[in-house]
Amino acid sequence: MCGIFGYIGPKKNAAQLVLNGLKKLEYRGYDSWGIALKVQGSRFKVQSPLLVEKHTGKIGEVHLSSTFYRLPSNFALGHTRWATHGGVTDVNAHPHLDCSGKIAIIHNGIIENYDVIKKRLIKLHHRFVSETDSEVAAHLIEEYYKKFSFLEAVRHAFNQFEGLNAIIAMNGVLNEFVAAKTGSPLVVGLGKNENFLASDAPALLSHTQQVHFLEDGEIVKVTPSKIELFDSKTGKRKMLKTQTLSWKIEEAEKGKYPHFMIKEIMEQPKVLQGITQNALSQIPDLAKIIKSAYGTYMIGCGTASYAALSGIYLFSRIAKRHVNFAVASEFGYALDFLTPKSLVIAFSQSGETIDIIESVGKAKNKGAKILAVVNVLGSTLYRMADYKILLGAGPEKCVLSTKTFTAKLAALVLLAQALNGDLGQGKKSLEKAAQEVENIFKPNSLLRIKKLANKIVNQQHIYIIGRGQSYPVALEAALKIKEVSYIHAEGFAAGELKHGVIALIEKGTPCLVFAPNDETYGAALSGAMEMKARGGFIIGVSFKPHEVFDYYIPVSDCSDASSIPNVVVAQLLGYYLCLKKGHDPDKPRNLAKSVTVK
Ligand code: BG6
């Protein structure tokens, strides 16, 4: 959930390196941030070896001018926070120091038994300054450090914590990091006589391509020249498994775009073409695995759950195959029936969302096989899975998921057509969809969506309907609008309109209707007419105009892949509504890119 970046090495601008690293990770949490650094050189007489600077708010425009960043240092650790325990204050921001000021820690996750540990430490005269669960880590390590080496002190402390956590401890005297994790992601970056720690690989791209993704139950000691890996339970030494990152730096930058959101929206045609070319190789084998499964379950969280839901329509219509759908955060409470013949297809951009990691863990305990559809190589879900589809959409940094949603739909179309024995048709539909998305990006089409945003920006409520495979599109469209404009948008199955929601329609209420050229067209229009009869302002997203539409957005028919250009219209509408409201599309309030706490 939070962003973590650490540096140790010969360079004397560690504070600047860490600040830049945190800026690249802000999508992981941006309510407050902080950096601890070890000041070098005798000229700087400081009480404790570590200096800490913490602030509420976004790092965003923090400039490297202030003294703190000009202090010579070759050892620094930083954190951007998404608050769980304790309000958004400077004191609750990380890093946290122990009583001696020689140990600094940053934490990601929730220490579920922190209150018991805290009471024990207060009895041992430790002084706490924050309201966080995290601070207990600094003091518990300090307590064990009285008896053990720093590595062992962190290991013993970490093994006390209940819940899913990642901890990095910095020893300002020994000049070493010790980091450990269960659940929350941690990556070690291997440099020449310098090393890095981060919560997400893209932040390391400008420094190294060589990384080790920490597994659950691993603890690592990092100095400028050495990285030593151990098992956190037994303390036994382990081998590093380094991997080479495939992403390029510029892929993780905004380039010519003002926001990651619009950059990633505009990248979709290229991503779809890439999937159509690259994914073909493994799809037929995966189709065989799906065919041989005895019960297939598609799960995901947030936007990824709507991709999973789209799967049941695509597989039914194209492959005449029944698959089940569940929201991943609930699946864990309703999977007792799974067997070793079951297949769980888990959708996740980051591969780190804790609710899906936990459900997949429970499914694996039942012997079920896992097919992960993820965008991040080496992510926890990627490593847990028996079979993998790497979406290849490139880094997705905007908190809202856009290009990886359509990439998941593309993978589903190819899988369904492979099951149907007509992969060629799937490829054709995706090429058509990629072309139609290009058409939507044409100036007059963008202007049409912008004008619509101007028209409805002051509305309190927007209702969005769809039938069949347009139902998950309606849900995703509403989510995109909610996430960035903070307007209450509600998507629902058009058939449910008359069973309640229509009571909310009044004069001028914006009602967006997805009416693609499929078996749902007629019924979708009936829903539009019922809303219009109650005064609704009907926005039609369809392959042809219709008199019921007060505002029409043309999207050509792309047969199986029509959901892709349809949802791109909603992504753009969300973006323009957000700009019109003056919000930051890349860092919407209260959200974070991947949720690693329950
Ligand atoms: C939320 C993101 O935190 O997690 C959403 O803001 C995303 O955009 C959801 O859809 C699920 O994330 P993931 O990485 O599992 O697809």
At residue 563, does pLDDT exceed 90?
A: yes
Q: Which residue do the tokens 């890093």 mark?
A: 95
pLDDT in tens, 378-420: 899 999 999 999 999 998 999 999 999 999 999 999 999 999 9
Amino acid occupying residue 178: V
Confidence of residue 66 (pLDDT cuts 50, 70, 90): low
359 touches ligand 1 (CB under 6 Å): no
What is the spatial distance between Cα 264 and Cα 275, in angstroms, rounded to a whole number?
A: 15
How far is 199 from 1, CA to CA, in rounded Å? 9
Angle between helices 403-419 and 303-319 (to 10 degrees): 20
pLDDT of residue 254: 86
Cα separation, 236 vs 213, whole angstroms: 18
- Note the pLDDT of residue 62: 64
pLDDT in tens, 504-542: 999 999 999 999 999 999 999 999 999 999 999 999 999
**For residue 249, what are the contacts with CB-CB under 8 A and spacing of at least 6?**
205, 206
* Residue 49 in this model has a pLDDT that exceeds 70: yes
Q: What is the mean pLDDT of residues 564-573?
A: 98
Tokens 């690249």 belong to 24
User: Which listed residue (2, 398, 511, 578) is catalytic?
Assistant: 2
- Tell me what pLDDT residue 30 has: 78
Best residue among 261, 264, 299, 349 to mutate for probing ligand 1's pocket (most ligand atoms within 8 Å of CB) is 349
Rounded to the nearest whole angstrom, what is the distance from the C-alpha of residue 512 to the centroid of ligand 1? Answer: 24
**Model confidence band, residue 37 (pLDDT cutoffs 50, 70, 90):** very high
Q: Is residue 48 very low, low, confident or very high in pLDDT (cuts 50, 70, 90)?
A: low
Q: What angle do CA 90, 92, 95 make, to 5 degrees?
A: 90
- pLDDT tens digit sequence for 120-148: 999 999 999 999 999 999 999 999 999 99
| pLDDT computed for residue 580 by the predictor | 97
Amino acid at residue number 479: L
Please state whether the predicted TM-score (pTM) of the whole model is above 0.95: no
**Bridge partners of residue 7, in order along the sequence:** 76, 196
N residues, the chain: 598
Cα–Cα distances in Å, from 460 out to 97, 101, 362, 487, 505? Answer: 45, 50, 41, 6, 12
**In b/e form, how buried is each residue of 191-220, taking b as 16+ CB within 10 angstroms?**
beebbbbbbbbbbbbebbbebbbbbbbbbb
Task: For residues 138 and 152, give the distance between their C-alpha atoms in angstroms, rounded to a whole number.
Answer: 14
User: With 90 as the cut, is the pLDDT of residue 201 above it?
Assistant: no
Whether 246 has a pLDDT exceeding 80, the answer reads no
Q: What is the mean pLDDT of residues 234-244?
A: 93
Report how far ligand 1's centroid is from the alpha carbon of 302 (Å). Answer: 5
Predicted pLDDT of residue 46: 53
Q: What is the pLDDT, as a whole number, of residue 477?
A: 98
DSSP H helix total and E strand total for the chain: 18, 25
CB 370 within 8 A of CB 364: yes
Q: Would you state the pLDDT for residue 598?
A: 75
Residue 205 banded pLDDT, cuts 50, 70, 90: confident
- Report the pLDDT value the prediction gives residue 592, as an integer from 0 to 100: 86
Kindly give the number of the ligand 1 atom that is closest to the alpha carbon of 300. 15
Say whether 558 is catalytic: no
2 among known catalytic residues: yes
Supply angle C-alpha 186, 190, 194, rounded to 5.
110
pLDDT of amino acid 515: 98
How high is the pLDDT of residue 185?
87
pLDDT band at residue 64, thresholds of 50, 70 and 90? low
* pLDDT, mean over the chain: 93
Eight-state DSSP code of residue 6 = E
Q: How many CB atoms lie within 10 A of CB 591?
A: 16
Does the beta carbon of 594 sit less than 6 angstroms from any atom of ligand 1? yes
User: Is residue 565 pLDDT above 80, yes or no?
Assistant: yes
Q: Which of 130, 595, 132 is nearest to 401 (CA)?
A: 595
Confidence of residue 362 (pLDDT cuts 50, 70, 90): very high
Q: Which of 399, 595, 596, 598 has the most ligand 1 atoms within 8 A of CB, as the residue to mutate? A: 595
Q: How far is CA 523 from the centre of its chain?
A: 35
- Asked if pLDDT for residue 249 goes beyond 80, the answer is no
